[in-house]
Structure 1
Amino acid sequence: MPLFATVNPADKVALLNSVAVIARAAGEIELFYYRTDTVTFTKMDGSIVTSADQAADNYIVQNLNLLTPNIPVVAEESFEAGNIPDISCGRFWLVDSLDGTKEFVNNSIDFTVNIGLIWDGIPILGALHTPENGIVWGGILGEGAWEESKDGTRKIITVRKSHPDKLTIVASRNHYSLELDGYIRNMHVKKILLRGSALKFALLARGDADIYLRTSPTMEWDTAAGHALLLAAGGTMTKFDGSQLDYGKPKFLNDHFIARGR
């Protein structure tokens, strides 16, 4: 398998542009359900899923398979339905068609479409879309990151240099815990932003926050797109011990992590 660095940059850009189009189209599917009644189900683990998740999942998987037929797709809803592809080749897509389902059913804007490409355990390309406001964020490792507005206008984004005595922390609105609070209390915090879904990665990537800590469980499809975006924008993301957060683990379950700007 070739190294990602040897892939033609123009091909990388074309691939990300195509993925951004898929993410937008999936977002339109979700908005149809968002603005009408959507059917909600409870999974075996007690979490919820909606008909919007399932419809968008089907659309994304089908179109990624057409776009890159030799790269398997691991998508949350398909995976939980028992469709688990062989990822031994080291390259695969990770998809969360609707990240932030609680936000979605509560009519919050903090839900996202997440599509990330993994190459040898590293997220190297990602598109993250917030359907309600029409923004898409995209990034390629080594090639930079951008933000695209609803009208298609793009601007380059980068992480900001943090001030250690005036940190802006972004954390999960639905998963703020005593353990997380203990970490935050040991920092010099100016502001805490509580937001839902992978949108937190976009806030880091565009320089609106400095650190995102997570001490509650996440799956690889929750973080792959945002992680790729953050790396492309000049940020970092590691386990709490500073080691690399790898992808392609047997159960696709992440360790606790800390994502940073600069």
Structure 2
Amino acid sequence: MKTITDNLSRVARDAGTAIMKVRSEGFNIDRKDDSSPVTAADLASNEVISRHLAAMYPDIPVLSEEGAKIPYSERSRWKEFFLVDPLDGTKEFIKDNGEFCVCIALMRNNRPVLGVVYAPTQDTLYTGSTETGAFVSRKGSAPEKISTRKPEDNEGLIVVGSRSHPSPDLAVYLEKLNVAEMTPAGSAIKFCLVAEGKAHLYPRFNPTMEWDTAAGQAIVEAAGGTMTSLDGSEFPYNKENLRNAGFIVKA
């Protein structure tokens, strides 16, 4: 797992460089069929990731946000594949608040077993697998091991939530809890805040897509946390419809 983690880390960094190049040069905003925004940065990152993965792992298929039109009859037979969000947090990228990232997950038997999340504006790389544990590298430093942190007795919860997708259901859910702090954040960085012990809880009620969550889930679980569906069941992947229902991430 270490070798593939190192390889995917380099791919994510290269993709981040491509994103930052577009960011510095300026870009137009287009719309996909579902009306979600897409920019040249999404496409540039996807091209870098697709090219590298095809060269490194030609036998492992790739399911990416920018290449998702693969028939279910084909991908349902996959035992192993990469699940990729080339630019997670496109809305944050457009707002230029820095809260966007590159997400690459290795999936086996429809479970995320390895995840890489790279935040290029912070030059911060999170990695995690159940075999090796979870790590963070800041500004090129040597990776440091990270782990989730459960709240102490009577300690109020630090909750992280979506900056661009608030939900009335979230407010209702949090009313029942002892919340000390609610921290908004964009993209899969929310998973990483739980993984490194900066937040205790990330509840999500609004829909996401499978590529939004896989890498983050792998890192959270490698760090000792959990991610389940709202009813506590195992969170499903490689569904016929790639849209996710809600979930709960816990330290």
Say whether the fold is shared (TM-score over 0.5): yes
Task: State whether structure 2 residue 27 is matched by structure 1 residue 66.
Answer: no
Q: Does the 8 A contact of 1:164 with 1:188 survive in 2?
A: no
1:247 partner letter: Y
1:119 partner letter: R
How much is the aligned-residue C-alpha RMSD, in angstroms?
A: 1.3
- 1:183 is displaced (CA, Å) by 0.5
Q: Which one of 210, 213, 232 corresponds to residue 223 of structure 1?
A: 213
- 1:35 is displaced (CA, Å) by 1.6
Give 3-state SS (helix, strand or coil) of 1:128's partner.
strand
Distance in 2 of aligned mates of 1:246 and 1:148: 29
Task: State whether structure 2 residue 32 is matched by structure 1 residue 24.
Answer: no
Structure 1 pair 91–164 and aligned structure 2 pair: CA distance change class (3 A): farther
Distance in 2 of aligned mates of 1:223 and 1:142: 19
Structure 1 partner of 2:91:
102
Distance in 2 of aligned mates of 1:83 and 1:145: 31
Distance in 1 of aligned mates of 2:2 and 2:151: 29
Q: Does the 8 A contact of 1:212 with 1:259 survive in 2?
A: yes
What TM-score, normalized to structure 1?
0.91
> Residues 163-186 of structure 1: CA distance to partner in whole angstroms, max 9, x if unpaired?
364100000011111111110111
Q: Which one of 223, 228, 234 corresponds to residue 224 of structure 2?
A: 234
Give 3-state SS (helix, strand or coil) of 1:109's partner.
coil
Task: State whether structure 2 residue 41 is matched by structure 1 residue 41.
Answer: no
Distance in 2 of aligned mates of 1:44 and 1:164: 48
- 1:151 is displaced (CA, Å) by 2.3
Distance in 2 of aligned mates of 1:212 and 1:179: 13
Q: Does the 8 A contact of 1:139 with 1:145 survive in 2?
A: yes
Distance in 1 of aligned mates of 2:34 and 2:240: 18
1:171 partner letter: G
2:45 partner letter: A
Structure 2 partner of 1:255:
245
Structure 1 pair 39–164 and aligned structure 2 pair: CA distance change class (3 A): farther
Q: How does 1:100-179 map to 2 (within 5 A)?
A: 100-163=89-152, 165=154, 166-179=156-169
1:255 partner letter: A
- Consecutive aligned runs of 4 or more in structure 1 exceeding 4 Å deviation: none
What TM-score, normalized to structure 2?
0.95
1:203 partner letter: L
> Residues 22-77 of structure 1: CA distance to partner in whole angstroms, max 9, x if unpaired?
00000000001112211210122221000100111111012112211111100001
> Residues 126-163 of structure 1: CA distance to partner in whole angstroms, max 9, x if unpaired?
10000001110001113201001122321100001223
Give 3-state SS (helix, strand or coil) of 1:78's partner.
coil
5+ residue gaps in structure 2?
A: none
Distance in 1 of aligned mates of 2:140 and 2:65: 29
Q: Does the 8 A contact of 1:127 with 1:136 survive in 2?
A: yes
Distance in 1 of aligned mates of 2:100 and 2:167: 21
Q: Which one of 184, 202, 210 corresponds to residue 200 of structure 2?
A: 210
Distance in 2 of aligned mates of 1:105 and 1:163: 38
> Residues 97-139 of structure 1: CA distance to partner in whole angstroms, max 9, x if unpaired?
0010111011111001000011112110010000001110001
> Residues 77-103 of structure 1: CA distance to partner in whole angstroms, max 9, x if unpaired?
111xx3558331321111000010111
Structure 1 partner of 2:176:
186
Structure 1 pair 156–43 and aligned structure 2 pair: CA distance change class (3 A): same
